[in-house]
Amino acid sequence: MRNLWLFISKYNAFFLLIIFFVTSLIILVKNNNYQRASVWNSSNQVVGTAYERVNEFSSYLILGKINDSLALENSRLRNQLSSSFRNDSVKQVLVNDTNLVQQYTYTVAKVINNSIHQKNNYITINRGQKHGIKKGMGVISSTGIVGIILNVSENFATIRSLLHTETKVSANVSGNIGSLVWGEDNFDPRYAELKDIQSHLAIKKGARVSTSEFSLFPEGSNIGFVSRIGTRKGDNSLDIQVKLDTDFSKLQYVYVINNLLSREQLELEAQNKTE
């Protein structure tokens, strides 16, 4: 104790310095906004950095749990998304006319899958049995014919596109009837071939090509126009290239044609075979 007292009295200047200096600093920090703010800020920064590090580490440990909760939330939000809901409402317009009996009704459908670069192209639409779609119905777009319904499920239907080697459509050009095919020589989705037009017939370039009364499309539905005429060797028919009205690459909405009289027609024609 005595030694300690001697030590303190020997270096009294230093201890006095500490006492007075610390007192001044306390007064300084307590009474001056700028210095107080600096002290608080820096201490907060130190504490904040420490907390941040700890937080970083602990959040790493519960990453799995967070992942699960996020996935759960994602699925919940996805269920609320408007794209998760199907529009099941179907608008069919029936016109009541005493003179005319409506033969065709149209069902609007959205193209949800489409191909144009295959040898045989198919289109899928978001309408099916539920909406009265049946196999063999014709499909047109706002610009021209598209194809024929191939398979139908409850909510979807596939269309055998016009761009299919087996699709044949009875077409009318200037009153002459031929059959429209695609994929024999060309695989360009913009053009199709018109066959079985006799070579002596005068077909002009640019003539309109539309469906004939024999097709399952309403008579006069747009197909396209004649873009090139040539002669086929060893054959007495013309080689006609048709520029299609329908741009298959940009197909968005199509109309499925329901022929109200087709059943009657088929039944009648079926009788011919049985007899």
Binding site for another protein (CB under 8 A): 12-14, 16-17, 19-21, 23-32, 34-35, 38
For residue 11, the minimal CB distance to another protein (Å) is 10
Rounded distance between C-alpha atoms, residue 251 and residue 109, angstroms: 11
For residue 8, the minimal CB distance to another protein (Å) is 12
Q: Would you say 31 or 89 has its CB closer to another protein?
A: 31
The CA–CA distances, whole Å, from 59 to 50, 62, 111, 195, 204 equal: 14, 5, 46, 72, 77
Q: Would you say 24 or 55 has its CB closer to another protein?
A: 24
Residue 111 · residue 253 · CB < 8 Å: yes
> For 249, which DSSP code?
G
> Alpha helices of 11-32 — where are they, by DSSP H?
12-31
CA dihedral 23, 24, 25, 27 (to 10 degrees): 90
For residue 37, the minimal CB distance to another protein (Å) is 9
Element (H, E) at 168: none
For residue 3, the minimal CB distance to another protein (Å) is 20
For the four alpha carbons of 27, 29, 34 and 36, in that order, the dihedral sign comes to negative
Q: In terms of Cα–Cα distance, which of 213, 247, 207 is closest to 228?
A: 207
Q: Would you say 21 or 51 has its CB closer to another protein?
A: 21
178-193: burial string, b at 16+ Cβ within 10 Å, e else: bbbbbbeeeeebbbbb
Q: Would you say 7 or 253 has its CB closer to another protein?
A: 7
For residue 9, the minimal CB distance to another protein (Å) is 10
Q: Would you say 19 or 72 has its CB closer to another protein?
A: 19
Strand partners, 70: none
Distance of CA 78 to the CA centre of its chain: 17
**Which three-class secondary structure state does DSSP give residue 132?**
coil
For residue 51, the minimal CB distance to another protein (Å) is 23
Q: Would you say 22 or 270 has its CB closer to another protein?
A: 22
Residue located via tokens 């001056």: 32
Q: Would you say 26 or 71 has its CB closer to another protein?
A: 26
